[in-house]
Structure 1
Amino acid sequence: MKILVLNCGSSSIKYKLYDMTDESVLAQGGAERIGLDEAFVKVTLKDGSKEKIMHDMPSHKEGVKFVLDLLVDPKYGCLKSLDEIDAVGHRIVQGGDLFEKSCIVTPEVEKGIESLIDLAPVHNKGHLAGLRAVDALMPGTPQVTVFDNAFHSTMPPYAYLYAVPYEFYTKWHVRRYGFHGTSHRYVSQRVCEFLGVDIKTQKIITCHIGNGASVAAVKYGKVIDTSMGLTPLAGLMMGSRSGDIDPSAVTYLMQKTGMGPQEMADFLNKQSGVLGITGISSDMREIENADNEGNERAHLALQMYNYRIKKYIGAYAAAMNGVDIIVWTAGVGENQEGVRWDACSGLEYLGVKMDKERNHVRSKEQILSADDSKVKVVMIPTDEEIVIARDTRDLVEAQKK
């Protein structure tokens, strides 16, 4: 079975084509600047090199069409015909409380995703455009939606509800949902396979630390809490997102700056976080370089960033009455040893003991803690796309039966 995985953002489309016989990647790439000038697709070639192809893509439909054209192109693709694609799997950021697991796409599912656009206006609108583009370009091809918040649907009400009038939840679905669920799901399962333990016996804290970042408490295979909230803005300090902030600080800043609600939302999502503190960049690699050169604000940003990760680890250890495994994943978590080291320092009371030499590694499955550490600290590179591909395969095969 060949499965195409699509992740359609507001102006981008990431894609991977899998042969599920051995879960090998046959083709991959990404379209950028959809609906904007100078749109392009960056394709990974068979030798591992990448090539940038300029192509006008006024909408997601044209973007998806060009991706499909590339898949059957003699140079860039690997298919003789699009008929070889058995199904398409989509990443959907916000499933609200309508979708608690992956599902086959139907008109009702599309309407459900559309009804949740207000909760994730940037993301869900792009996802829906991608779904409908495939509907138009590959009619009859099964499609599956895999929701970013679904893995977190096991949170109890006392963890996901906000302390506001209950009717806000019943009327407008205002609650904590959490995101990066596909990644948290993958690494929590994979780390147990890697260590040879049963996930149903483990208390795991998964740290998905990238430009967007979140932490989840996974107790015996089920999420009991996670740091992101109604939107991906809550929780940790991130590349350009503020993370947790006093709501009164938000209204105060709106009064002082004259910003409206959408302007303030954009400000907290795109101009805050590490970027806002340093004034340099949202890229943690650049911040570490600036810190090494003596930049005081870069140093402060790193202290804030790592401290907040540490606080969530401590909170979730308390919520689970202990922790057996701490997992690091995503761009920063997999590649920046300083962040891992600083965030885990001072957690000796939990039984965490890091190994400096083991921690000196990038994007590789590896135990980072010392042999005598009571808590296993492990790096597991994430693979959200393979989770989407597997769910798509399983649902399509089940439908055939």
Structure 2
Amino acid sequence: MKVLAINPGSTSTKIALFEDDACLLSRNVAHDAAQLAAFDTISAQLPYRKQTIEALLAEENADLSGLDAVVGRGGGLIAMEGGTYEIDAKLLEDARTGANGVAHPAQLGSLLADEFAREVVARAFVVNPPDVDELQEVARITGIRGVYRTVHLHALNLKETAIRHAATLGKSYEDCRFVVCHIGGGVSVSAHREGKMIDGFDIVGGEGPMAPTRCGSVPVADVVRYAEGRDLGEVLSLCHKTGGFVSLTGTSDAIELTERAAAGDEACRLAWDAMIYQIGKAIGSMAVVLEGQVDGILLGGGMAHSEDLVQRLRDTCAWIAPVTAYPGEFEMEAMAAGAQRVLSGAEEPKRYTGDPVWNPPTCWID
């Protein structure tokens, strides 16, 4: 089964061509920041991104004949269950408009997949997009009427890491309980039970551990006072762009930060220590969600390459369950694998409806 995977990011687009488990081509196409800034909306970037990918495929003499499917990263969608979704008109429209209100280049993934699939007459999918929300109901409730928890997490990599680790145990993902972390530009910590991601932290909304560009959970009253007299957009950007390492040390580069810490920069050392401390706390809370029955704690993402980070989390959390590191990410492989499961008949494709996966209980609707 031949699958093309497309993963648009803020300044680049990753593409990979797979034939069964073999990766025939994997490239990261850089985009000129000034050119991207010229577009008024994310969806307006579509022709430019497509032309860039086409140029790369031509340069690599990539053969798309016999392509069975094209998979896009997905994004901009109303919250949905995890799985592989066949791209249709409703999904494309919500991705194009950014129906969930979160503007991110990932929403171009489904649009690009549809364009390429139409040209080669292949099927088009999205697999576990960032909009996956499988929270159990009790995890959604806050102490403010009308304010409910949702999540934006690295669902694709979190779920693929869990699927792969379950296989090493001789089990299926649906038979395991894991705390799974993605530790990179954003830090996702999540609880997985019976094939569902039943709890986690909203890394777009200002929850969970701090990250290189994200503030993480902060005291609400202090934030309200901090916001007084400041522009709302400036304050909200602390949740996903200007918080975390950027706010505390002026850099979002974890390697630079740890090098500065080793050279005696106290602010960098404290920021690094605090992030690891907060990740450990978050892992502990997800272990409680799983009632202490945890088959493994899994660490993925770029920062899982850090032996210091992994060892310190192992020292902190190994009493809960074995800690296993999967440095980097499996996003491209996960996208291809999701499509291949559908193509082989091992999994039924899901249909995107645009309907919320959860509605507030009627007892709290005014």
TM-score (norm 1): 0.75
**CA positional deviation for 1:209:** 0.7
Partner of 1:31: 29
Please tell me whether residue 303 in structure 1 is matched to residue 289 in structure 2: no
**Residues 61 and 245 from structure 1, CA distance in 2 versus in 1: closer, same or farther, beyond 3 angstroms?**
same
Deviation digits for residues 207-259 of structure 1 (CA, Å, limit 9, x no counterpart): 21111111111124332211225x36431210111111234333322224x22
Q: Which one of 264, 281, 294 corresponds to residue 294 of structure 1?
A: 264
Question: 2: distance between equivalents of 1:125 and 1:198?
Answer: 30
SS at match of 2:278: helix
Counterpart in the other structure of 2:15: 15
Change beyond 3 A, Cα 1:10–1:332: closer
Out of 266, 288, 303, the residue aligned to residue 332 of structure 1 is 303
**Alpha carbons of 1:302 and 1:180: their partners in 2 closer, same or farther (altered >3 Å)?**
same
* CA distance in structure 2 between the partners assigned to 1:304 and 1:177 by the alignment: 23
1:310-344 deviation per Cα after TM superposition (whole angstroms, max 9, x unaligned): 101111122212123111111001x1111122233
CA distance in 1, matches of 2:33, 2:66: 29
Deviations 1:103-128 (A, max 9, x none): 11111221233454443112455345
User: Please, which of 210, 217, 225 is the counterpart of residue 244 of structure 1?
Assistant: 217
How many angstroms apart in 1 are the aligned matches of 2:35 and 2:257?
Answer: 30
Aligned to 1:270: 241
Alignment partner of 1:389 out of 332, 336, 339: 336
User: Which runs of 5 or more structure 1 residues have no equivalent in the other structure?
Assistant: 40-57, 169-173, 353-374
Residues 1:206 and 2:180 aligned together: yes
SS for the counterpart of 2:214 is coil
| Mapped contact 2:74–2:107 kept (Cα < 8 A) | no
Paired residue total = 339
Alignment map for 1:171-186 (pairs within 5 Å)? 175-186=149-160
Partner Cα separation in structure 1 for residue 342 and residue 34 of structure 2: 35
TM-aligned CA distance change 1:101 to 1:200, over 3 Å:
closer
Q: Is 2:330 the partner of 1:379?
A: no
Matches within 5 A, 1:229-240: 231=204, 233-240=206-213
Matched AA of 1:146: V
CA distance in 1, matches of 2:145, 2:18: 46
Aligned residue identity for 1:8: P
Alpha carbons 1:3, 1:17 under 8 Å: kept: yes
Cα separation, 1, equivalents of 2:205 and 2:116 = 27
Give, in whole Å, the separation in 1 of the partners of 2:172 and 2:114: 40
Please tell me whether residue 62 in structure 1 is matched to residue 48 in structure 2. yes
Please tell me the root mean square deviation across aligned C-alpha atoms, in Å: 2.9
SS at match of 2:71: strand
Please say which of residues 30-39 and 218-227 is displaced more in the overlay: 30-39
Asked if 2 retains the 8 angstrom alpha-carbon contact of 1:148 and 1:179, the reply is: no
The residue correspondences of 1:306-325 to structure 2 (distance < 5 A) are 306-322=276-292, 323-325=294-296
- Structure 1 residues 59-96: Cα deviation after superposition (integer angstroms, max 9, x where no partner): 332322332343243xx2332xx433322101113533
Distance in structure 2 (CA, Å) of the matches to 1:69 and 1:37: 16
Q: Which has the larger radius of gyration?
A: 1
Check conservation: 1:93, 1:147, Cα contact below 8 A.
no
Structure 2 residue aligned with 1:144 = 125
**Are the counterparts in 1 of residues 77 and 99 from structure 2 also a CA contact under 8 Å?**
no
CA distance in 2, matches of 1:307, 1:89: 36
Taking the aligned partners of 2:240 and 2:175, their CA distance within structure 1 comes to 37
Identity over aligned pairs, percent:
21
Conserved in 2, the CA contact under 8 Å of 1:235 and 1:244?
Answer: yes
Q: Which has the higher contact order (CA 8 A, sep 6+)?
A: 2
Partner residue of 1:44? none
Report the CA distance between 1:202 and its aligned residue: 3.5
**1 CA distance for matches of 2:110 and 2:88?**
12
1:108 corresponding residue in structure 2: 90
The code of the aligned residue for 1:379 comes to A
**Residue type of the partner of 2:338?**
D
Counterpart secondary structure, 1:345: helix
The answer to whether the Cα contact below 8 Å between 1:199 and 1:220 also exists between their aligned partners in 2 is: yes
